[in-house]
Structure 1
Amino acid sequence: MTARENRPTQPGTEAPVDAFAELAAKLRALYEFVDARAAEEMAPQFWKALGYAYGSAETHLDCGDIVGAVRQFAWLRIDAA
């Protein structure tokens, strides 16, 4: 890779973004964060619901439905807080 190719993109310039991979990484990181802290702080029923939301978001991503995945990610973020 040349120095020019390695430079960050200029503001306002579109950079190649894989929205599905980016959302999947954020979703996994949030789930791992919640998982590490949930055992002692949450009711089992709520914890089970968080697991379902994570699985549902992954399924939406696998099926190419990024809108559904974003909705599940938002639910997971809000309710896990």
Structure 2
Amino acid sequence: MMQLYPSPFNTCDFFVDFPSWLPLHEWLPSVFQAYGDCSIKQWEFLTLDMPQWLIGIFAVYLVVGVLVLVSQGVRVRHKYFS
């Protein structure tokens, strides 16, 4: 949603502000690189960007979690083992 209607007042920093004892931007610059413009799409796979994929992944985890909780409360009786 942020890419569709970017705010002109909301910008990202051009410089990272990590502590001096943990310079992640120097150790892994490809991961912690500051781009400066949050409205630019940085990553896209199968026409979906990162927030859209994360919503889908969250929905799958939520369904799996609910199924696990429901299955813990259901006891199956086997007529051969009772």
Range of TM-score over shorter length: 0.3 to 0.5
Larger helix percent: 1
Give the greater-gyration-radius structure (CA). 2
Larger strand percent: 2
Larger RCO, structures 1/2 (Cα 8 Å, 6+ apart):
1
**TM-score scaled by length of structure 1:** 0.34
